[in-house]
């Protein structure tokens, strides 16, 4: 699973992501979560969220400017780094809520992935074009 959420905060998205990974692990899937690097060890993150079923966590390093929120595009930068890290994986199911990650992986690199979206946020021309491409691509893929 790939999430651009910052862990070690108690946001609904971070909690849900950790619970989903725990559930995948509980059901026998070898689960790995790829997230932006935090100041906490994987063990501290698992303990913080009270994860019952342990899974691997890859903490991807990000440029400091994006971590502190100084520049826009944090999700896009993380998506590029995560795709680079995970694109060599074979025979894996990749699941994400990050539209940038899904667009790069599935549309540009033609790799199968699962994208979960509760709503589409059409903020500007680029994001609108990406969401329209994702919808068109997913309805035409097998």
**C-alpha torsion 47→21→32→85, nearest 10:** -110
Mean pLDDT for the stretch of residues 10-28: 89
> 25-45: per-residue pLDDT in tens?
999 998 999 998 888 899 999
CB 20 within 8 A of CB 3: no
Q: Residue 64: which pLDDT band, with cuts at 50, 70 and 90? A: low
Beta-bridge partner residues of 115:
96
Cα separation, 12 vs 20, in Å, equals 12
> 65-121: per-residue pLDDT in tens?
665 555 567 778 888 888 888 877 776 788 888 888 888 888 888 888 888 876 666
């Amino acid at each position: 699973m790939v999430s651009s959420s910052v862990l070690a905060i108690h946001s609904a998205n971070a909690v849900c992501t950790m619970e989903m990974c725990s559930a995948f692990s509980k059901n026998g899937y070898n689960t790995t979560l790829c997230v932006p690097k935090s100041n906490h060890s994987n063990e501290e993150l698992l303990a913080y969220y009270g994860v019952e079923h342990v899974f691997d966590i890859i903490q991807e390093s990000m440029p400091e400017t994006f971590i502190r929120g100084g520049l826009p595009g944090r999700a896009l930068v993380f998506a590029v780094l995560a795709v680079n890290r995970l694109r060599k994986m074979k025979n894996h199911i990749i699941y994400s809520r990050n539209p940038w990650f899904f667009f790069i992986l599935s549309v540009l690199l033609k790799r199968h992935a699962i994208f979960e979206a509760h709503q589409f946020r059409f903020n500007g021309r680029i994001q609108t074009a990406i969401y329209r491409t994702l919808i068109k691509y997913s309805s035409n893929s097998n």
